[in-house]
Amino acid sequence: MLQGNLKKMSTEVRDGQVYYHLDLGNERVLINDLLGKKVSLHIDGIIHCVHCSKVTKKSFSQGFCYNCFRKLAACDTCIMSPEKCHFHLGTCREPEWAEQYCMQSHYVYLANSSALKVGITRGDQLPTRWIDQGATQARALFRVQNRRMSGLVETLFKTEVADKTNWRNMLKGSSTELDLEQEQERLIDRLYEGLDSLQSEFGLQSITDLSDENETHEFHYPVLEYPTKITSLNAEKTPLIEGTLMGIKGQYWMLDTGVINIRKYTGYQATLTF
């Protein structure tokens, strides 16, 4: 039995196989070892803010209390829409934080999760970002100067390809293998004028094409059986989640009773029994 505040599962990849660890309290468990076993996750309703640790009645932006949600740059709208970054305008909530997290190299990538999608992430979040989205294939397209630039490039690509994962299809394991290198060439060929325009405005060094130095990464998830019907389990309505663990993908547990997004309950006090 493990007790503590939930946080998203940490991951590692060995030869393409994804391994998941969950930390609760001072204990760590390899969730892959629980496949095929009966597990019980009880969420008792107490939520601790992941930033200030205060007890909060409601979680905002996956684990923050309302005060932290209102003041932290990590909770600003530009985190979800990086093209709206306003650091250059001098209006960032936390300029020092932004210098460390936003004003560094980012990557624009293609991934195959539920289908082809475009996305962005910091360089130190690869391949974590791909795994959190349940991607079976992924390939970096560009390295760009900062988070705002990654958002501008992503916005350009969103005219041709989705930027969201259909999580229900992802959990059904329904993605078809794609030739991401071919998709990269196709999209760049269609969007080169827009890319040239961004480089003309922000400088040639603002976007680095990784076509000649990159590779497609493939990931295999610990799944015994994919569900044919997705039933979402809500721990706030039903605090005791029980069932046989059939698989793990993205940040989801797939039980024979339904699926639960562990990351959604970041900061919630919980007990895991297996």
- Does 212 lie in the same domain as 93? yes
Residue 211 belongs to a domain: yes
Residue 200 in any domain: the answer is yes
171 plus 236 within the same structural domain = no
| Nearby residues of 266 by Cβ (< 8 Å), 6 or more positions away | 6, 7, 8, 50, 59, 62, 63
Answer whether residue 71 is part of any domain: no
Provide the token pair at 6.
């939930």
What is the rounded distance in angstroms from the CA atom of residue 253 to the CA atom of residue 105?
Answer: 32
Instruction: Report how far Cα 122 is from the mean position of its chain's Cα atoms.
Output: 12
Task: Write out the two tokens for 234.
Answer: 């809500």
Nearest to 235 by CA among 252, 221, 212, 218: 252
- Give pLDDT tens digits along the chain (274 positions): 999 999 999 999 999 999 999 999 899 999 999 999 999 999 988 999 999 999 999 999 999 999 999 999 999 999 999 999 999 999 999 999 999 999 999 999 999 999 999 999 998 999 999 999 999 999 999 999 999 999 999 999 999 999 999 999 999 997 899 999 999 999 999 999 999 999 999 999 999 999 888 899 999 999 999 999 999 999 999 999 999 999 999 999 999 999 999 999 999 999 999 9
8: containing domain:
2-63+221-273
**Which contiguous run of DSSP H or E holds residue 20?**
strand 17-24
Domain boundary among 174, 198, 218: 218
